Amino acid sequence: MGKPTGFMEYDRRENPAQTPLERLGHWDEFHPLLPLEERRIQAARCMECGIPFCQSGAVLGGMVSGCPLNNLVPEWNDLLYQGALSHALERLRKTNNFPEFTGRVCPALCEAACTCGLHGDPVTVRQNELGIIEEAQRQGLIAPQPPTARTGKRVAVVGSGPAGLTVADQLNRRGHLVTVLEREDRPGGLLMYGIPNMKLEKTVVARTVERLEAEGVTFRLNTDVGRDLDPQALREEFDAVVLCTGAKEPRDLQVPGRDSQGVLFAVDYLTQATRALLDGHPSTAAKGLDVVIVGGGDTGNDCVGTALRQGCRSVTQLEMMPCPPEKRAENNPWPQWPRVKKTDYGQEEAAAKFGSDPRIFETTVKELVSDEQGRLSQVVTVKLAPKRDKKSGRVQMTPVPGTEATLPCQLLLIAAGFLGPQAYPFAALGLPIPKDAGEQSLPSPYHTALPGLFTAGDARRGQSLVVWAIREGRECARQVDLHLMGYTNL
């Protein structure tokens, strides 16, 4: 796979990146692609490892190692190296409906499990994936391919995030008539409004939606199922309904002063910023403000990058957990997912602009302080320390008395994760919010208790990655097809 000696001859080379201060001047993606010949050299580094851990998607040490989609990584790396771009594209899309998304936003579980990374640098798997799909796009190799025959079966997909788009794509290919209902003004769900433009340009989402429409998928926008539209009516209109509403119920802060003006959930803040950008007037919501972000994950980092582009005066990111080690610990061996410190683009930009990493570890908010008009002015923080609960044995981060500190803050963004899907679409159907559908006595984890009604993606499994949403969509589509036809070839 690739060149047998390539991993010894060629060094890992990633797509170049604009400097942090340079890219703060715009909202566009800032990683120009390597030329095709350079990308072929990177594909040549894929070694004949014998066991491709990169495509395993196995759970090791409590975390997934390798691609959850079981992407045929060695195969399309070899085809890319050989110059067979169209064949590489075919093998890539065989398991991944949307490599244009995962090639940009996936944390590359495949690379963490790459055998090349055991004693050196892993293959640039994610960027090779992106290189294949974007070069194919440039060469005109990706064109709409409507199904040659229709089954006459009608399917409604509620939500147009990565899971919903995948369900729609798979079932449309099968020949079913698919309608996607989206409550926002633009399709894409998380891909459109949950991920900033500099990480995933919205033209990429739009071109994918346009291709799906050309292949026969119908999109109904500004339709909030459960509020604007009774989901029971959908069940009467369609032969099957799939709920892919995401896990958009944010985890809140329960602290004094929570009702102060200037406190936003991260998902609302990012949505406002992207909508303003697409409407032609980039938001300046954080301009001149001291911004504090509660949460250290990808969403928190996206808030850092967004606040910087809006011209914030300062930005601080609070993380409850201790700072991870710089290198793998002995109890975290390859090919487990490396639990190491990751500095993402937003943190790099904050350090370049303000001179230091914006993160404060083992810290959380104790109180919010507002002025006489009720506007947020300060955040009182407190340090945390790990403490093992005697009854459960679980380690919890516990406040340390006497470690309080005060930060100036006029904008607080809560990026503390999500509790699960919003309840109202399920309540309108008389269904409980999914907790662990796999334990229900149903034909598959994707069925609900109502015949012909399915659920997939974050709405079913909880907050997760785009790559998992695509896998969920593919598996759910198979169950829907089986329900509709009595057999399936998906």
Residue burial 304-336, b: 16+ Cβ < 10 Å; e: rest: bbbbbbbebebbbbbbeeeebeeeeeeebebbb
Which pLDDT value is given to residue 137? 97
Residue type (1 letter), 81: Y
Task: With CA atoms as reference, report the closest residue to 163 among 235, 216, 236, 101.
Answer: 101
Are residues 476 and 169 in contact, defined by beta-carbon separation less than 8 angstroms?
no
Q: Quick check: do 6-138 and 252-416 share a fold?
A: no
Task: With CA atoms as reference, report the closest residue to 85 among 143, 147, 34, 129.
Answer: 129
Distance CA 487, CA 174 (A): 12
Show the 3-state SS of the chain.
CCCCCHHHHCCCCCCCCCCHHHHCCCCCCCCCCCCHHHHHHHHHCCCCCCCCHHHCCEEECCEEECCCCCCCHHHHHHHHHHCCHHHHHHHHHHHCCCHHHHHHHCCCHHHHCCHHHCCCCCCCHHHHHHHHHHHHHHCCCCCCCCCCCCCCCEEEEECCCHHHHHHHHHHHHHCCEEEEECCCCCCCCHHHHHCCCCCCCHHHHHHHHHHHHHCCCEEECCCCECCCECHHHHHHHCCEEEECCCCCEECCCCCCCCCCECEEEHHHHHHHHHHHHHCCCCCCCCCCCEEEEECCCHHHHHHHHHHHHCCCCEEEEEECCCCCCCCCCCCCCCCCCCCCCCCCHHHHHHHHHHCCCCEEECEEEEEEEECCCCEEEEEEEEEEEEEECCCCCCEEEEECCCCCEEEECCEEEECCCEEECCCHHHHHCCCCCCCCHHHCCCCCCCECCCCCEEECCHHHHCCCCHHHHHHHHHHHHHHHHHHHHCCCCC
CA contacts within 13 A on the Cβ side of 295: 23
Instruction: Answer left, alpha or beta for residue 424, where phi above 0 means left and psi between -120 and 50 means alpha.
Output: alpha
Q: Which fold has domain 252-416?
A: FAD/NAD(P)-binding domain (3.50.50)
- Token pair, residue 185, equals 């003004």
For the chain, give every domain's residue range. 6-138, 154-248+419-485, 252-416
Phi, psi values for residue 412, rounded to 5°: -110, 125
Task: Give the predicted TM-score (pTM) of the model.
Answer: 0.95
Task: With CA atoms as reference, report the closest residue to 300 among 327, 333, 266.
Answer: 266
Digitized pLDDT (tens) for each residue of the chain, 490 residues in all: 678 899 999 999 999 999 999 999 999 999 999 999 999 999 999 998 989 999 999 998 888 999 999 999 999 999 999 999 999 999 999 999 999 999 999 999 999 999 999 999 999 999 999 999 999 999 999 999 999 999 999 999 999 999 999 999 999 999 999 999 999 999 999 999 999 999 999 999 999 999 999 999 999 999 999 999 999 999 999 999 999 999 999 999 999 999 999 999 999 999 999 999 999 999 999 999 999 999 989 999 999 999 999 999 999 999 999 999 999 999 999 999 999 999 999 999 999 999 999 999 999 999 999 999 999 999 999 999 999 888 888 889 999 999 999 999 999 999 999 999 999 999 999 998 876 544 455 788 999 999 999 999 999 999 999 999 999 999 999 999 999 999 999 9
Distance CA 145, CA 167 (A): 16
Cα distances (angstroms) measured from residue 36 to each of 33, 40, 130, 136: 9, 6, 11, 11
Distance CA 186, CA 206 (A): 9
**CATH class label, 154-248+419-485:** alpha beta
Kindly compute the dihedral angle of the four CA atoms of residues 275, 281, 285, 288, in this order, to the nearest 10 degrees: 150
Which pLDDT value is given to residue 48? 86
Give CATH for domain 6-138: 1.10.1060.10
Which pLDDT value is given to residue 61? 86
Which pLDDT value is given to residue 441? 56
Instruction: Answer left, alpha or beta for residue 70, where phi above 0 means left and psi between -120 and 50 means alpha.
Output: left
- Token pair, residue 106, equals 């996936």
